[in-house]
Amino acid sequence: MRHLILPALTLLTSACTSLSQSECRTGDWYGIGLRDGQAGYDSQIANHAKACSKQGIKPDLAQYNRGRSEGLRSYCTAASGYQVGLRGGTAGNVCPAESQAAFMGAYQRGYQRYTIQRDLDQTEARIAQYSDQRGKLQDKVYGAANDKDRRRWQRELDNLNQQHRDDRRKRDILRAQLIAAPLLYPQ
């Protein structure tokens, strides 16, 4: 367990620092803003200023905002919105008004497809477990010491078989929904 703690702490502490020392010293605020915009981030200028303040470096707000605006132009497209939704990502309110509707419409279609696939994966995982569970319950039914226990195990087996049938129906419905879900901006 201890061997997992150190890498986790390293990740957490590196995630808290928005920029490295060399990025602060280089001071490519347009490029930093561009990268933040392309990633669809809210303005990170306060975090960047805090990270660079230890070195006495102040960000160039105008250059950062110019780069971020340019980055958002490439992020705030329907194709990007669809991909963010398809990954199950969250869509912040970062896009300019003229591109927000197209981005969000495509995001919702991508997210719809994501949720169908997620539900299908979960259902198929449950279906894969039924065989093992069924075998164990059948062993209990056949090995029961008395009729009361046998009936109890048989009820559990009947319930499991019903759940299995229900999940197979659900799987078929989800597969049909996945086929019907729009594949609008695949990349």
Structure tokens given for 74:
């490439």
User: Taking the model in full, what pTM does it have?
Assistant: 0.73
Tell me the per-residue pLDDT of 108-153, one tens digit each, with 9 for 90 and over: 999 999 999 999 999 999 999 998 899 999 999 999 999 999 999 9
Residue 18: predicted pLDDT: 75
| Mean pLDDT estimate for the chain | 87
Tell me the per-residue pLDDT of 163-172, one tens digit each, with 9 for 90 and over: 999 999 999 9
Domain regions of the chain by residue span:
18-75, 78-187
Q: Where are the alpha helices (DSSP H) in 27-145?
A: 29-38, 45-53, 61-75, 78-86, 97-143
3-state helix vs strand vs coil in the chain, percent to 5: 80, 0, 20
Tell me the per-residue pLDDT of 29-48, one tens digit each, with 9 for 90 and over: 999 999 999 999 999 999 99
Residue 17: predicted pLDDT: 56
Residue 75: predicted pLDDT: 96
Q: For residue 184, name the pLDDT band (cuts at 50, 70, 90).
A: low
Rounded to an integer, what distance in angstroms lies between the CA atom of residue 117 and that of residue 123?
Answer: 10
Residue 14: predicted pLDDT: 37
Residue 163: predicted pLDDT: 97
Structure tokens given for 24:
């602060």
Helices and strands per DSSP (H, E), number in the chain: 8, 0
Residue 1: predicted pLDDT: 42
Residue 36: predicted pLDDT: 94
Fill in the DSSP letter of residue 55.
T
Lowest-pLDDT range of 14-23, 66-75, 120-129, 131-140: 14-23
Q: For residue 161, name the pLDDT band (cuts at 50, 70, 90).
A: very high
Which of 97, 99, 98, 92 minimizes the C-alpha distance to 78? 99
Residue 55 Ramachandran class (φ > 0 left, ψ -120 to 50 alpha, else beta): alpha
Residue 86: predicted pLDDT: 94
Residue 119: predicted pLDDT: 97
The whole-angstrom distance between residue 2's C-alpha and the CA centroid of its chain comes to 28
Residue 6: predicted pLDDT: 39
